[in-house]
Amino acid sequence: MTLLSIRDLRTYFYTEDGVVRAINGIDLDLEEGETLGIIGETGCGKTMLGLSILRLLSENTKVEGQVLYRGTDLIRLSKAQMRKIRGKEISMIFQNSLSSLNPVLTVGTQLAEPVEMHRHMKKQAAKQRVIEMLKAVKIPSPSDRAVEYPHEFSGGMRQRAMIAMGLACTPSLIIADEPTTGLDVTIQAQIIELLKEVLEQSGASMLLITHNLGVASELCNSIAVMYAGEIIEYAGVIDLFKNPGHPYTRGFFDSLPNRGLKPMPGTCPSMINLPAGCKFHPRCPHASSRCEKEKPDMLKVEEKHHVRCFLYD
């Protein structure tokens, strides 16, 4: 069953330099129990997608389109209705645990807050729930750790606490934004294992935002590749890694250390001055005059594999 359906999502924000077109017509579906990876270079709009779904955006931002969560359009909910969804139905695990946790509150107090609010638990019961959650994310001596402050935790421990916070109200959807960034390889592997375990146990779906293909391949069933605020390729994880179809996806993979370290020419376009036609045409080795004028549609190249490129027309 489809848990989340995104239709023609567009997110703009207004700056002194012009309108930043961060999301440019995204369509996506996420099934119950599925983990969908959103990959792409820094600045391609991945994080804005997560923030747009949860409407965690500043006042100068405009969001259009539909974000249907179990059939309810989140874009059209009031702020109060949205607060009830956040944390309880959909939670977000942010990338920088140090800046995401409040330095002047103990970890336990911060974890207890959403539990008290969404599950209407009394202080003592919430405290017990916090200890259970810290235990579930394998934090040793959870009762002692709950009364410590974020700076007393190591980076890996803090990330575990963030995951515990994301899971505290047993959400159906978790949006994890670069959950392993900044952690060393060993801790990264432990966090991946932990996420696998908690997803299996909870049955929750996850939208994993990452530029780390190793993390995506470990955790995801399907992957959507983003470029300049659009999805340009979508496929099952094995299919995508074996047969990347879009010239950008191929270039992105080739630039990785384990795939030849071949740098891709050019840089991501400015989201204020996006190129006409195919947004990748200034960097594409296969660009034709058509690519400069027309925007390609998503084309089916195989069952569950779609590519936005005229090469498949």
> What is the contact surface with ligand SF4 in residues (CB under 6 A)?
246-247, 278, 280-281, 284, 286-287, 291, 296, 309-311
Q: How far is the CB of 283 from ligand SF4 (least distance, A)?
A: 8
Q: How far is the CB of 1 from ligand SF4 (least distance, A)?
A: 33
C-beta of 199 vs 278, nearer to ligand SF4:
278
How far is residue 97 CA from its own chain's centroid?
15
C-beta of 18 vs 266, nearer to ligand SF4:
266
Residues in the chain: 313
In whole angstroms, what is the distance from residue 98 CA to residue 276 CA? 40
Q: How far is the CB of 292 from ligand SF4 (least distance, A)?
A: 8
**Could you tell me which residues are beta bridge partners of residue 300?**
306
DSSP string, 211-269: S-HHHHHHH-SEEEEEETTEEEEEEEHHHHHH---SHHHHHHHHTSGGGT--PPSS-PP
C-beta of 17 vs 313, nearer to ligand SF4:
313
Straight-line distance from the first to the last Cα atom of the chain, in angstroms, rounded to the nearest whole number: 31
Q: Max alpha carbon distance in the chain (Å)?
A: 67
H, E, C per residue of 82-115: HHHHECCCEEEECCCHHHHCCCCCCHHHHHHHHH
Q: How far is the CB of 250 from ligand SF4 (least distance, A)?
A: 10
Q: How far is the CB of 264 from ligand SF4 (least distance, A)?
A: 12
Query: Please, how many CA atoms are within 13 Å of residue 71, restricted to the half-sphere of its CB?
Result: 1
Residue in the structure block whose two tokens are 């190793």? 214
C-beta of 106 vs 249, nearer to ligand SF4:
249
**Cα→Cα distances 141→129, 133, 191, Å:** 14, 12, 18
Q: How far is the CB of 104 from ligand SF4 (least distance, A)?
A: 49
**Could you tell me which residues are beta bridge partners of residue 66?**
7
C-beta of 235 vs 309, nearer to ligand SF4:
309
C-beta of 94 vs 280, nearer to ligand SF4:
280
C-beta of 136 vs 291, nearer to ligand SF4:
291
Which amino acid, 174?
Answer: I
Q: How far is the CB of 222 from ligand SF4 (least distance, A)?
A: 21
